[in-house]
Every structure is written in structure tokens, then in C-alpha cells.
Amino acid sequence: MDDLSWMDAHEQAELVRSGQVAPAELVEAAIARIEEENPRLNAVIHPRFERARREAAEPLGDGPFRGVPLLLKDLACQSEGDPYHCGSVFLKNARWRADHDTGFVGRFREAGFVIVGRTNVPEFGLTITTEPIAYGPTRNPWDTQRSSGGSSGGSAAAVSAGLVPVAHGNDGGGSIRIPAGACGLVGLKPTRARVSQAPDMGEAWMGATVQGVLTRTVRDTAAVLDCIAGPVPGDPYVAPPLRRPLAAEVGADPGRMRVGFLDRPLLGGLNADPEAGRAIAATAGLLAALGHSVEEAHPKALEEEAFPGHFLNVVAAGTARDLAFWAEKLGRSASEDEIEPVSAGLGAAGRALSAADYLASMEWMYGYIRRMSHWWSDERFDMLLTPVVNGPPPPLGYLSDPTQGLFRTIAMLQYTAQFNVTGQPAVSLPLQWSADGLPMGVQLVAAYGREDLLVRLASQLEAAAPWRGRHPKLAATR
């Protein structure tokens, strides 16, 4: 059934509820799609087909997404018995397999999803393009010579190409929003701790990392987050409770919002990409036409040049710990040819930090969070509109270049990591397209804990400027 490829998760689940399709049929259709398209994409690196077939044939309960196929990102998300390599040659050589489900994976299962595989990631999620040495590059379905973004690039390419309607992703500096923007998807980074990361961790990167999904519709994003959100006893902190399920916010009147927009980089003296600027201008115009108050404005804290250095200290310390953790698990350290230069360099930088250095960066970050929050509280803005990255999806190799890649990454990564640090929810929406027909995601950022406002506004924009009819040429026909 070819039409299944472009149905969202709600539509597929309704087919099962109404008895028109069995879960096993949905799973077989996803497997067929993966087998046909994945050789050109390299999005799914660990197929899980036989286990998925067995699970689809078993009772799945009455979860809202009963029988719907799902892909998991191969990072910070373990599924018992399956390979878990985090994009690293080190873990691949060890043939490491998970011995348990991460907590929210159990929630995916309770919702009725059937896991059909695991997706490609850059090593340890440390960059915004998915081109690991361990598994090779994932290709963007809209142009297979372009990056699918990162670090959830495998998941984004898979959903964009119609392999599955939903895939897991996580975000420590933009890793849901950036691939969503590159691949024409909805990618919402929830509030810090909205989804528990038990039992594997309490927090990572000073609480910057969060779990979520990539989808093609706002309603899928909202309803799936309802399924996986919620604290677990022992979590170090929890997100503010939502007033009602996010699914109930889809289509709800957002009222007249006060929206500030930013259309240019503020750090490093960089120039704005003209296509990114045009995308923001067009979206600001759409928001104004919908009755919102729109003005050029942004939090002054976004201009603080010290931010990248302090954030890098946190990431470097986290990388050093990751490498030490896996050395302890595997009983040996990685050899030089088992770890990529970016990971090795960040690990070395992390080991060189003193405890006092790390605490100084944490203290600076806590002050930064307070300075940022004033724009939403004291200046009474409801939403910030920005590009996701400073430009269209770049060619493969552009961000992974051994000499220029890091500088190019910093130049593009201007708008997302700040909100991982502040813990605020932010969403990438596929509202704009480049002159070459490439997706140009735009970002909306709400105040801490206000995913409800994001979903209301995102669904209003989706209704005003629908994107579901646009599919990548790679997978437009069968």
C-alpha cells in the first residue's frame, strides 16, 4: 500500500483501530520501504526486521499508536538486545549490544509503536552533520549530495523519505531541530527534563540534552511527546507540569502573540546567509498576517560572545567522561584509529579542564539562563523567531572537512544551542524553502515550560501554510 509512506502516525494508527490494516501489515510496509530507499540514504544502520515482525504479531495493547513502525536513534537510547554504537568505531568493533531498554523506549512500546530499526548518528552526537567514519554519511532525501543534519540525521532522513512516520531523536545543541530543518520536518526540542532519561543518566551536558521525536505533522509531535513525557522517581529535577495534554493544544487558538524575530548571526562577526534571512522575513510576514504582533527584537544575552567557550567546556567535559565510561565498560581505551579527531580533541580538552574551570563555566551558564529569561518574563515576549541554522543544508563533506569543518560548523550553529542551556522548548517547522528547493526550517522558541504555546502556534502555521504535500524527489514515486 504505497499511500502508507506519506500517512502520519495518527492516520496509520486509525487504520489499525478501524480494522482496515493489521500491525503486521504496517511493519511489512515500513520494512519494504526501508529496503527500497535506505541503500541510497544510509539512514537505518541496524535493521531490526525479524524482531519487529515477531513483536507486531504479538498483542500490542491499546496504546494510541498501536502497530505504527518507529525508528530509534543510535545514541542515548538503548533497546535491549540491539546493537548500540553511538556512531563510534570503538563500540562497533566491540560489537556492543544494549542489555536493557532506556525508560522512554518502554513508553514508546506502551504507546503501541513497533521498533523496526536504529538510525545513523555522528560519533557521540558531537556535530551537526551525520557523517561518521563507523557507518558513512546519511544522505538528505531532498538532495543526496547534501547533509541531512545532525546529530539526529539518520532519523530525519528516514521520516522525510517516508520510511516511517515517526523517529526518535535527541537534542543537546540543536540535534532534533537542525536535521528537522534540513529535511523538511517538524522537530520539537522539549523543555529540559520533560522526558526522563532514566535509568541511564540523570542529565548530560549540564542538562542541555533532551529526548524527543521527528515527525511530518505537528499533531504527531504533540501526541507522541504526551506518550513519552513525564518524570521517573530519582530524576534530579523535573519539568513544570503541562496544563493539559499537548495533543489538546493542536488547533487551539493561540491568541495574539508578541513575537520577536532575529534574522542574522550575533556571534563571531559573521554575515547572515541571504536565504536564511529571506526565510525569516517570509515567516514574520505570515505571522503578522495571522494577527500576531511581530517586531525585530531578541534577548540581549544572545549577543554575549563568551557563550560558545563556556558551552564548549561543558561539552568537552562530557566527552571526556563518555570516553572514560566506554573504556571502563569495554575494559580498554580506544585506540587512535577507533575515535574520530573531533571526539579525541574534545576528550583531551575535557581532561585538561580542572574542576574549578568546569564549575566556573557552570556558574556563568546559570547567570546566562537568568539573563536570557528576562526577555520572555520582563519584556513580555511570547515567542522568538530565528533561523535554525545560518543557511540551507550544506553539501556532504562541508562540515566534516578535517581542517575547516569545525569553523564552518560554528558559523552555521548560531541559533540553537543557547536554548539547550536555558532549557526552553523550541521547534523547527518546514515553512520555507531555498531557491534550489531545499528545506529551510525556521525556529520558534517559547518561555521555559511552555510547549503548549509552541504547539498552538505551530499548528496554526501548519494550517495556514501546509507542508504535508511536499515530498523529496528521491521518494516521490515508487
Q: What is the DSSP string of 117-173?
A: EEE--SGGG-SSS---TTT-PPEETTEEEEE--SSSHHHHHHHHTTS-SEEEEEESS
Q: Considering 175, 196, 343, 361, which one is annotated as catalytic?
A: 175
165 with 9: CB under 8 angstroms? yes
Nearest to 73 by CA among 230, 235, 218, 211: 211
* Residue 314 φ/ψ, nearest 5 degrees: -65, -45
Torsional sign, CA 95, 122, 209, 187: negative
459 counts as catalytic: no
Residue 258: what are its φ and ψ, rounded to 5°? Answer: -95, 115
Q: Classify strands 426-433 and 439-445 as parallel, antiparallel or unpaired.
A: antiparallel
Please say whether the beta carbons of 261 and 432 come within 8 A: no
Q: Which of 73, 79, 92, 147 is catalytic?
A: 73
- Which 3 state secondary structure label does DSSP give 420? helix
Give catalytic status of residue 333 as yes or no: no
**SS3 call for 387:** strand
Match 505537528 to its residue by C-alpha cell. 218
Residue pair 69/119 in contact by the 8 Å Cβ criterion: no
Which residue among 5, 79, 148, 151 is the active-site one?
151
* 151 a catalytic residue: yes
By annotation, the residues acting in catalysis are 73, 151, 175
